[in-house]
Every structure is written in C-alpha cells, then in structure tokens.
C-alpha cells in the first residue's frame, strides 16, 4: 500500500488506549483551557484522525509563513496550507505550558485535546494578509475562506497535541465518518491496490458519477473512495446528511458491487482552490489512495480561480517526489446529446455548446425547489428525488 506522507507508517494523534485516555481526561480538568474556534477544532480532528500525518500539532509562526509562501515547513516538510490554532484572546493561557482544548461544536464544550504549548506568538496584520493572499490567491473579504481566516484572531498558539475526541463526527455520521487509518484498513480488507479518491462537498450528479467510472477504467483501478466533507460549509450548500443519502443511492444503483467506498471526513471547507486541492492530495495519500481526481474548479468558489488552476499547481508548485499520490486530471464533464452519454468536453472535438446539456448550479437548485426534476441526463432520477424532497421541505 502507498506510504503515508512524510513517514513510513501512519501516526494519528487520537489517543485510543482506554487507560491513557481516562488519565488524560482526568488531567484535563485541572488544566487551563482554551475554547477553540471551528477552524482550529477541524484541524484537531484531522490531526487526530491521521489525515494530517506526519504533523504532531499546530504550526508555529515561522512554519506557517514558510508553508504559506513556499509550501514547506522550516525543516523542509512539504505542506500546502498552514495548520493553525489562531485565537482572539490568549490571556487565560498566557503562562501555561500544558492546556486543555475545548470543542466549540459540541454542547458543553468538552475537552477534545491536550496541548503542550511551545509558543504563543502575535501575528501582524501584514502577516495575516500575506498568508491569506498565498493560500486563497486573494484578500477579498467577500471570499468565504478569506473572511473566516482573517477573522480568527492574531494570537497563534502552537505545539503538539494529544487528541481525546473527534468532536461530533463519529456520533452524527457513524456510517460515513472514517479516520485515515480505518480507510487504509478497509482498502486492505477489500484487496484493493490502485485506489482513486473522489472529493465532494456536493451531491454527485451524472457528471461526477461518470468521472469516477472514467478514472477507474482508464487507471485500471480496483476501487473508488468517495470522500465527502462533513464539516462546515458556506450558506446554501447541501447538508452532509442529504449528500450522504444521494451518494449512497447512486452507488447502490449505478456502480458494481465492491467498487466504491462511501466515506467522509471532519473538516471545514477552506474554498482555497489550488492550495486546497494539494491538501486534498496529501490527506488522500495518508488514507491509502494512489490517485486523486482533480476536476474543473476543484475546491473553488465564485470566480476567484481559473478553471484548471487546481491541476496546474501540481506541475508548477509541487516538487518532484514531494507526493507519491498521482493526479487524475479531469476536464468539465457534460452529457453529449450526440453520443448519448457523459463525456469530458475537451475530448469531444466535433461538438458545439448546443450538443451538450449544461445546467448551472443556480438553475438546478431553482428546479429542485420548484419540485421539477432535472433532466435524467444531468441527475439520476433517484438522486433528484432525494434533493427535491429536501428543497421542498426547506421552502415549506
């Protein structure tokens, strides 16, 4: 199986030994505590679940700046996006060397990690702006990722962590949320060697479905891991539970048995386009996938990124040998009326725009809200029905 990024074996930070866990939970009650924001809590979940291997905790300012500017830590580890614990007020932990980190997304704010504090540093406005520009390719406050990042605070708390809880994800999504190690184990159990990852924060329509079929066929892959984001999205995105239902129905009806794993991970969407695509590659390697599908405007939002910037960054900015996972580059896909099937548009030389069925996301949402099913060439009818039920309930 493909090695994790940066180490020979996966080293998740989640404490699983019952006695050690109990001892740490007891210790946590006597420690100064810090309530995390959602972004820092999501980073703790990813560290705990092994997705951010080989990191041992939150980055300090020097590493954050180096990663933002040059895609590697001070010590030379390739990494695409700073993994930070930024806070507005660090006065409660100012003199502490060991602290409890509390979960902002679970009732009662239970302790989710214990941290050995290595530094508490002040980040200047100029440094925040530089990092935002490098990560998101813009400092526009209307960009949802920029708005979140620049509003997290100016105190950077860094150090290694021991994760005691993966927040609400295991309880709320018991059939879908999986750690990187659990996915590796299932890949091994299924006997898969060449494995394609498909990233999604949306329900899968015909074009997404066909992309997975194309990648499996062209790469001669054993299977696809559909890996959906279960954390915070922007307003208007489809809730994770609805996406889960849609994807499972599609897999059940339109894929061969033992060819797809439907899983999810606990992270907040960054909307960082190219940089986020590289982060996706890093943690898909950590969970045992050999290939990642990167399509048009992968992890993008609005018009902030070029259609294929998330593909070209791998050639332009990722050093040779930095990652073992390979990228399956995909063009925009659409249903061809000429051929009667979904195709990559760049492979249909004899087509004009009128030969494709193209629907905008806005148009599809409007149709669903009005109780009108999108054409079967765009969305499987069983999937469309789940979405129509959701939109009509929302508008009721």
**Distance, CA of 299 to CA of 310 (rounded, Å):** 8
Concerning whether 202 is annotated as a catalytic residue, the answer is yes
β-strands 291-294, 260-265 pairing = unpaired
Query: CA nearest 34: which of 164, 159, 157?
Result: 157
Which residue is catalytic, options 98, 154, 190, 201? 201
Q: Residues near 302 by Cβ (< 8 Å), separated by ≥ 6? A: 142, 143
β-strands 195-200, 291-294 pairing = parallel
CA atoms in the 13 A half-sphere facing the CB of 295: 17
Rg (CA), the chain: 21
Torsion-angle region of 167 (φ positive above 0: left; ψ -120 to 50: alpha; else: beta): left
Query: CA nearest 73: which of 1, 133, 3, 158?
Result: 158
DSSP secondary structure letters along 161-207: EEE---TTHHHH-TTTB--HHHHHHHHHHHT-SSEEEEEESS---HH
Q: For residue 205, count other CB atoms closer than 10 A to its CB.
A: 24
Q: Which helix (H) or strand (E) holds 328?
A: strand 326-329
**Distance, CA of 369 to CA of 183 (rounded, Å):** 35
CA atoms in the 13 A half-sphere facing the CB of 172: 16
Which value, to the nearest 10 degrees, does the dihedral of the CA atoms of residues 315, 319, 321, 325 take? Answer: -50
**Distance, CA of 180 to CA of 40 (rounded, Å):** 19
Concerning whether 37 is annotated as a catalytic residue, the answer is no
Which residue is catalytic, options 202, 248, 317, 365? 202
Q: Residues near 184 by Cβ (< 8 Å), separated by ≥ 6? A: 1, 10, 287, 288
Classify the C-alpha dihedral 102-104-109-113 as positive or negative.
Answer: negative
Query: CA nearest 227: which of 280, 152, 187?
Result: 280
CB 356 within 8 A of CB 322: no
| Catalytic residue numbers, as ranges | 201-202
């Amino acid at each position: 199986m493909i090695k994790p990024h940066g180490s020979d074996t996966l080293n998740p930070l989640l404490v699983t030994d019952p006695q050690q866990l109990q001892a740490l939970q007891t210790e946590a009650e006597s420690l100064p505590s810090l309530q995390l924001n959602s972004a820092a809590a999501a980073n703790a979940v990813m560290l705990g679940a092994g997705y951010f291997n080989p990191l041992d905790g939150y980055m300090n300012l020097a590493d954050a700046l180096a990663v933002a500017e040059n895609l590697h830590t001070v010590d030379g580890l390739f990494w695409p996006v700073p993994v930070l614990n930024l806070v507005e007020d660090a006065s409660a932990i100012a003199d502490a060397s060991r602290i409890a980190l509390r979960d902002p997304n679970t009732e009662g704010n239970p302790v989710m990690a214990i941290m050995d504090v290595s530094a508490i540093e002040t980040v200047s406005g100029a440094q925040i702006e530089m990092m935002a520009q490098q990560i998101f390719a813009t400092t526009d406050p209307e960009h949802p990722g920029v708005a979140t990042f620049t509003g997290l605070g100016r105190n950077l708390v860094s150090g290694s962590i021991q994760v005691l809880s993966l927040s609400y994800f295991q309880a709320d999504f018991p059939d879908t949320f999986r750690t990187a190690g659990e996915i590796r184990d299932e890949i091994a159990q299924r006997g898969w060697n060449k494995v394609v990852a498909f990233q999604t924060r949306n329900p899968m329509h015909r074009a997404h479905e066909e992309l997975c079929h194309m990648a499996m066929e062209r790469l001669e892959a054993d299977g696809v891991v559909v890996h959906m984001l279960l954390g915070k999205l922007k307003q208007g995105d489809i809730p994770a539970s609805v996406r889960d239902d849609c994807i499972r129905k599609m897999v059940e009806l339109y894929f061969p048995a033992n060819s797809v794993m439907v899983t999810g991970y606990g992270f907040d969407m960054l909307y960082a386009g190219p940089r986020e695509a590289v982060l996706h590659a890093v943690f898909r390697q950590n969970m045992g996938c050999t290939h990642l599908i990167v399509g048009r405007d992968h992890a993008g939002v609005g018009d902030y990124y070029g259609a294929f910037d998330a593909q070209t960054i791998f050639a332009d900015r990722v050093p040779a040998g930095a990652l073992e996972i390979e990228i399956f580059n995909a063009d925009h896909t659409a249903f061809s009326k000429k051929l009667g099937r979904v195709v990559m548009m760049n492979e249909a030389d004899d087509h004009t725009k009128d030969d494709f069925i193209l629907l905008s996301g806005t148009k599809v949402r409007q149709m669903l809200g009005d109780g009108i099913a999108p054409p079967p060439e765009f969305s499987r009818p069983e999937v469309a029905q789940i979405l129509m039920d959701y939109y009509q309930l929302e508008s009721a």
